[in-house]
Structure 1
């Protein structure tokens, strides 16, 4: 019997999984099952739609292989790896498949199944890497991927609930158009793909025992995934509270955040959270960090932009004595890019600050270069130019701690900030 992708995934997300998920999400088991019945073919249809675009097969294959590794390898370290890597991977996959429509699709699933949008988002982020991971166990080349998907497309498209309106969300006249587009692409490539698809099916038959072993491992992975995800955010409401202060220990030459007066405790344990943007993008952040505070501010209809609205980066660092961002800082830059994309009316200015140690002119120059470095990084990430109102280095002009103060006090003055001028 030929390999059936849809049935395999339905076996992964079985009644036991639905029961566990329903309990953790605070939803009814029937509604979770209904949601999964829409989510699985939706994710796969997004894959079909992406694969039908010429030149995308190679990119998708990389996503698929990465997902397969994350889901099924290194079972001994599964519990430790899932929260840090696989959850973000699920969000990345959804963005890759659906772009700025990811949020609309999340809401469509929630409305269709009668569950909360946060629950739909959790289930989608769980299903996406699992779906691609199972495919990754079957396909090892770009042409093989196209052929394999072509052999599965009819059943996938037929399983999409009509109430979702998925074709419209994907910009297609009908779901059949997506299938026809893929078939047409394959016909253009040549008949070799058909042979590859048949080979995949025969290989799946021969290795059926191994396939079910992977399925068993995947079930365990998915349950652990959901448990870890919900343990961290299951009781949080849709919004996130802004903390009064954040104190972070950094090396001397860094930009650090203190939006309000810091607590006296030198270091506090930071709580990791997920910050959801209006377009459905989910950011990994810290409670009280710039993402949390900035998004809360932008979502609040009672707030206004202006020269006094500043938010400090809390995980943005530079190489010592330079204006070059460290590699680790790119994550927060990317988060700011995502926030600006989700709030297209927002306009910001970047400010740079130093402590009072050293020559004031040199400090001003360095702070200017660092602020400009952040603007350059945002520009390189294709933030709309109209949203960036420039950069200004203030040096030690606003430093509160004297030059002879302990470093623990002076480090509060070394920072890069975002001023929300319009929202």
Structure 2
């Protein structure tokens, strides 16, 4: 492994740091040193627990990034001396984020294990937590890790971390686990699931591309299916049938989020006829699109020099559907993906990131996996369309992190939270 997280963090606690801490807290250096051997793997295990067992890798990643800057021996010493930078109080907040109501139990465990006062264990833990998480956050920023990449990184480090937890420390019991190996297995399973989903999504795109390029027969098949559906509807209506079965496709719909440029969504119970338009690109290409759709808004944005790009600038696909519960893009949705590829070709300076979102229903970990695999599927589709790789800055699944509607809301409300978007990072 090229980066050893555990030993990198341990390296922050130099002899000078141990000596300063002992002097400030009125403890022996051996007691402080022993406490650190329990604190560092405990904090990192809390991070594994939040990302894996609690199913919040995005929250774990953000917690680590929030501590970036605290990861130095000098900061540790100044924090212990006079709470410089407010890192001691920030450490309290970070600990609550990882361990919730179990922080006091953790402090008692450290004090008992190291033979120091609980007040000393508390101060040392509050100082060490930002330094520990800041090391993780700095690495995540340097490597530009998204939530999925962060999970994979933690999975690569978990054996070292869990193996360093002192025997008799009972961290597993504090976290409500049967054993720490249970945490390791769960994290490994989630990471493997993410990898498998991405691979399946990529293969699905390849298969679809081969079918589409090999023959136009799929177009006729689609038309026949549409005719059959219309005929069936007519027969049911004509026979006076009062009970119909609704077959729903899992649709990634447009969503109105704050500070996000998106297509307008109709209110529940209303029907809005969409106006077809032609969108002209600088290279002479003309796209078939909808007024207010992603092509219309994205091209207008890229042409407008007064509107800056940035990580908060998002545009939602408005005609992109997947097969239910999967990352397979339906054939009738390929046209919009192709339009985005054409737009990127016409605006070679543009750089985008793909984001996937779900509603709040279902298991949060499954939502993250599904949103990640769907975002990966769109990214893979753009690559098969010969999009310049330099223009594609990755894909990230956010699950239900930004969903607005509660899990119990009607589907008309929840479907606005299910979407795939592109963020324009450069233009």
Scaled to the shorter chain, the TM-score interval is: 0.3 to 0.5
Structure 2 length as normaliser, TM-score?
0.42
Higher CA-based Rg: 2
